[in-house]
Amino acid sequence: MKDIMVVETRDLIEVRDVEWGAGLLANAQSSGSTTCMMLAENGVFAARKEALASCLLPLIDDGVTVLADRFALRERGIPETDLARGVAPADLSVVVDWLEAGASVLWR
């Protein structure tokens, strides 16, 4: 199976169908794909310790890489130290890394 990245730009608490992307990644991960959820723009709001979206925790526990765009964090005044366990800060260039590697990248 192809490796899959979902770029989630919406606030995971505000938009319910974010769970669709989480479900897709969970299934792909269990099927042997390498998977990643890249939180960008307002998607980074739900990566905070105090506000971690309920659909993210199982992903992290299942081994899906969950990243938060440093630029979006800075814009929104969220220190990297406020990120929840298992969420790592990353530069947007990671999206180009995945595109170059031939992965399927879905923008949400």
Binding site for another protein (CB under 8 A): 9-10, 40-42, 71, 92-93, 95-96, 99-100, 102-103, 105, 107
Closest separation in Å from C-beta 40 to another protein = 6
Q: How far is the CB of 6 from another protein (least distance, A)?
A: 12
CA distance 104 to 98: 8
Rounded Cα distance between 53 and 14, Å, is 10
Please, what is the minimum distance in Å from the beta carbon of residue 89 to another protein? Answer: 16
Shorter beta-carbon distance to another protein: residue 88 or 101: 101
Integer Cα distance of 35 and 45 in angstroms: 21
CB closer to another protein, 88 vs 99: 99
Query: Nearer to another protein by C-beta: 23 or 71?
Result: 71
Q: Using an 8 Å Cβ cutoff, are 23 and 61 in contact?
A: no
